[in-house]
A and B are shown apart, each in its own frame.
Chain A
């Protein structure tokens, strides 16, 4: 079969990109290999692990379960765009750092993207609700407790910072 190519235009972390992609290129591979945004990790490529979670028009989705061509016209956010400026951290990142919420770090970008979106929408979650919100992201290192602690702290920090 002839390779099937499409021209796409999208924004990632506020930057506009225009590229030609083969239709079977996954969005996760597009971000990593075409745009060099390797902060989006790839674990299972069937939607189970959550490492590849990004925001599509503000909502967390699995980038391994979308084609790059489907992102045409959309605004994406990846972990690279989370910190407000170089040398600074987003409150969720700060809290993960302070609470030792990561070990190998493989799951971390997906958790950060899932949880920043969640905490923006739910500023005062209970611990149970945080666990439920984390249920789509696997971590093989931490045992989750430190991540949960970090998220409770991050929620408090974000509430303080909110106008």
Chain B
């Protein structure tokens, strides 16, 4: 047997799952897609004593539109369902770019958006998307409910704002605004691997086609996804030129502090991040011109 012993409970309702988590706290883990948790248990890096399987909670999965301009994705929605929902991908085009970079089809058939964000791997694509898109996370516990902005959700390496009795239940994303374009790009050593660096960019123009806002978030270059919007501030109010984009890339290189890994030195990560920032902003910008 690879994993250490544990007690397995198939949760029959959300309240059941939350009551179990309230009872067992950090000793218990929710089991969603299992594509990060089971490997960690196979290596015995994780040894939960209680596993609360939430896969039967079908109401936690699916995509809906609570209000105009918003898309809400249930935590148990699998990557596969997102990848195949053309309307969702059109409303939130960063996902169309990012999902194919997540692991392989066999892993995407199981992995869930809620498991991904709760796991909070800084090299993962989706935390960076949540930051770039200014998503809001709805969190439940047996005691109640609260909503947290993505910018307050990712607290550190593999650490989120979730307390030991809480579950992420859904994520609300604003749909792409008019006169906007989006692009996600990454470099990984092999297809499907975690990114050496990845960049999500959303560019919005005003009526005179000057930059009204530029959202920028990176993965793989810090302990959390990095909000690099500040580096793009000088571009606001002016037209997007090559020089301006290069200046933003230089700003991002200064802003990040990657730690390096077996595949890339910190300098290389910084370099790649700068190149990707330029390409992602240009592509996002081109995509607006095409749509308008």
Interface residues of A (CB under 8 A from B): 1, 3-4, 6, 22-26, 29, 45-47, 50, 53, 56, 59-62, 64-67, 69-70, 114, 118, 132-133, 135-137
Contact = CB atoms under 8 A, between A and B. Distances in A.
A118 B104 CA distance: 13
Given A62-B110, A65-B34, A69-B8, A26 B103 contact: no
B80 interface: yes
B105 interface: yes
A2 to B, nearest CB: 8
Contacts of A3: 5
Contacts of B35: 47, 62, 65
Which of B7, B8, B34 counts the most A-chain CB atoms under 10 A from its CB? B8
Contact of A67 (B38, B109, B191): B38
A23 B39 contact: no
Contacts of A66: 34, 38, 110
B106 interface: yes
26 contacts: A1-B5, A1-B7, A3-B5, A4-B8, A23-B51, A24-B4, A24-B5, A25-B1, A26-B2, A26-B38, A29-B1, A45-B2, A45-B39, A50-B104, A50-B106, A56-B109, A59-B80, A60-B109, A61-B106, A62-B35, A62-B110, A65-B38, A66-B38, A69-B10, A70-B31, A135-B104
Given A60-B106, A60-B109, A22 B1 contact: yes
A61 B103 CA distance: 12
Nearest to A50: B106
Contacts of A65: 34-35, 38-39, 107, 110
